[in-house]
Homo-oligomer: A and B are copies of this chain.
Amino acid sequence: MLKVFHHPFSAASRFVRLVAAEYGIQTEYVVERPWDRRREFLLMNPAGTLPVMSENGGPPICGAAPIMEYIDETRGYAMADRRLMPNHAEVRAEVRRLVEWFLIKFEGEVTGYLVNEKIYKLEMPREAGGGAPDSAVLRAARANVRHHLKYVGYLAGTRDWLAGPKLTFADLAAAATLSCADYLGEVAWDDDEQARHWYSRIKSRPSFRPILADRILAIPPAPHYADLDF
Q: Are A90 and B70 in contact, with the CB atoms below 8 A?
A: yes
Q: Are A70 and B89 in contact, with the CB atoms below 8 A?
A: yes
Q: Is A73 in contact with chain B by the CB < 8 A criterion? A: yes
Q: How far is the CA of A93 from the CA of B45 in the complex (A)?
A: 12
Q: Is A33 in contact with chain B by the CB < 8 A criterion? A: no
Q: How far is the CA of A139 from the CA of B130 in the complex (A)?
A: 26
Contacts of A69 in B (CB 8 A): 69, 92-93, 96
Q: Please, how many residues of chain A have a CB less than 8 angstroms from a CB on the other chain?
A: 26
Q: How far is the CB of A102 from the nearest CB of chain B, in Å? A: 11
Q: How far is the CA of A82 from the CA of B74 in the complex (A)?
A: 23
Q: Are A61 and B90 in contact, with the CB atoms below 8 A?
A: yes
Q: Is A58 in contact with chain B by the CB < 8 A criterion? A: yes
Q: Assuming A58-B90, A65-B96, A94-B59, is B70 touching A101 (CB within 8 A)?
A: no
Partner of A67, one of B73, B93, B105: B93
What are some 8 contacts across the A-B interface (CB < 8 A)? A59-B90, A59-B94, A62-B93, A63-B96, A66-B92, A67-B93, A73-B92, A74-B89
